[in-house]
Amino acid sequence: MRNLRMKKKGAGLITGLVVSIAALVIAVIISFVIVNTLDDASLLTANSAQANATTRLIANYTAGIDNVSSKLPTVLLVAAVVLILGVLAILWATYSKMNMGGGGASL
């Protein structure tokens, strides 16, 4: 029963990480579609204050996405390290449980 709980915890960590990354990708795609739709709508006349504001908004949004994407490898590296440490902790706990009942040689 305990091993089943530990497996579920490990799977929950991986599932949560995958779902979070997928949600981030979907949110960025949706925001790109919205900004592109606003840009292509041609609802605003050229050189109006609203058109200039929209242009600046799109430029700032693009710069922000570039900034986030430059940090994404670091975030994924941290997530991978946390995942590896979690797997090692689960392996160590399993190893410790297996050695508690045995009286054989130790490492």
d(CA 59, CA 63): 6
**Under 8 Å between Cβ of 44 and 57:** no
Question: What is the total count of domains within the chain?
Answer: 1
pLDDT tens for the 107 residues of the chain, in order: 455 555 555 556 677 777 888 888 888 888 888 877 776 666 656 677 777 787 888 888 888 888 877 887 887 788 888 888 888 888 888 888 887 755 555 55
Report the distance separating Cα 71 and Cα 31, nearest Å.
Answer: 19
Is there a domain that residue 49 lies in?
yes
Give a yes or no: residue 68 inside a domain: yes
Give domain status of residue 25, yes or no: yes
Q: For residue 106, tell me if it sits in a domain.
A: no
pTM of the model: 0.40
What is the residue range of 89's domain? 2-98
By the 8 A CB rule, do 39 and 54 touch?
yes
Domain membership flag for residue 89: yes
pLDDT of residue 64: 83
Residue 7 lies in a domain: yes
User: Does a structural domain hold residue 32?
Assistant: yes
Q: What confidence score (pLDDT) does residue 10 get? A: 55
Q: Identify which of 103, 74, 101, 95 has the alpha carbon closest to the alpha carbon of residue 6.
A: 95
